[in-house]
Structure formats: structure tokens, C-alpha cells
Amino acid sequence: KVPKFDGSAYLRYPGLGEAALIWLEIQLVFRPTSKEGLLLYNGNRNDGQGDFMAIFLNQGFVEFAFDLGNGITIARSGQAVTMGNWHNLTISRTGREVFLAIDSQKETTVISSGAFTQLSLDQNLWLGSVPDYSILSAYLPI
């Protein structure tokens, strides 16, 4: 059976902590039913401040946002995903550089500004949604 997230359901996991300081790879398979929504969130604090990473849909485009302490950086898919279809997403991060690959679309690459390279993620990792949107970074466009 496959979990279904409707915006109010979520799964909570231990945060990635120091496992994501320098390097990170996430693979996610999902089938969206809405063009907007949070898929995954992990932060360093529960007050919307500090380092974080998030995967979400914005107008049907897959976006990966992160903040290493230099300000928010967003990688965006080149095309919107098709609602109701299964999609394969891979996010790879080394230091300030992020690669976003979705299905057979051309890979997107972004580099965060500033000198900081480490991502601290001490709080819970949320899949599907969060229990309280106040824990999210205020800079997220969701």
C-alpha cells in the first residue's frame, strides 16, 4: 500500500543531523494530485530560522530550496510535472552545489551564494507536510 498525503497527513522521521553537513542525495518517487504542496522538509530549528532544506511543488514545478546560512537558494525543474503520474526525483548536493533531476528532464544545477558550505539539520524530517507551518522558513514560497 502506498501512503497518500493530502496536505494534512505527514510522516515524521529523525532529522538528518550531521549526515547532510557536506553531502546529500535524496531519491523520491511521488504522484502529485495538486500543483502546490510540500513534499519534504528538514530544518535546524523549529522557529523558521536557520539552515533548512525543502522539496515542494510550486505551480507544478518541483523545487528544492535550501539555506546554508547564506540565504535561500532554489533549484527548479525545467518543466512542470504531470498531475496524477508517477515521477522520479533525485536531489544531489555537495557543499554549495545542487543538482535536481526529475524523470527525463534536463538536470538543473544551482550554486548557493556566500562562503558557507555546511547544512545543519537537527530537527525532525517531515514527509508529506508538517504539523505546524510556523516551523518552516519564512522565505519558502509555499
Query: Would you give per-residue pLDDT tens digits along the chain (142 residues)?
Result: 777 887 788 999 999 999 999 999 999 999 999 999 999 999 999 888 999 999 999 999 999 999 999 999 999 999 999 999 999 999 999 999 999 999 999 999 999 999 999 999 999 999 999 999 999 988 888 8
DSSP state, residue 116: -
Q: What is the DSSP string of 72-88?
A: EEEEE-SSPPPTTS-EE
Residue 140 to residue 122: CA distance in whole angstroms: 19
